[in-house]
Structure 1
Amino acid sequence: MDIPALSVAMHQASLAQNVNIALTKKRLDTAQQNADQTLKMIQHPTLGQTIDVKA
């Protein structure tokens, strides 16, 4: 493989890795937000004390 082709291949691999890292960070941030919202909802003092029923 010649040098320019190797350089392009290495750059593409690096770019793919950086994109994967960015997506993983975004997923972790979203998961953390979901966990925070779930904990906040669970800790709500009146949650689950009443049921709305329509006949």
Structure 2
Amino acid sequence: MDIASLSMAMGTSNVNSDVGIAVLGKNLDTLKQAGDGMLKMMESSVTPNLGQNIDYSA
């Protein structure tokens, strides 16, 4: 294999690697946003005063 073709192969490999890393980064951002949204939804569904007072009579 000559140096020119080796250089092209390595360049292609670096580009593929960079694209893969960029896609994974975007996916991580999307998952973080989905997790934040789910956390907000779970926090809003909880009744904050539930269980603080007990009504009792004998």
TM-score normalised by structure 1 residue count:
0.79
Counterpart in the other structure of 1:2: 2
Unaligned runs of 5+ in 1: 48-55
Identity of aligned residues (%): 40
TM-score normalised by structure 2 residue count:
0.75
Aligned-residue RMSD, C-alpha: 1.6
In the comparison of the two structures, how many residue pairs are matched? 47
Q: Distance in 2 between matches of 1:46 and 1:3?
A: 64
Unaligned runs of 5+ in 2: 48-58
Superposed structure 1 runs of 4+ greater than 6 Å apart: none
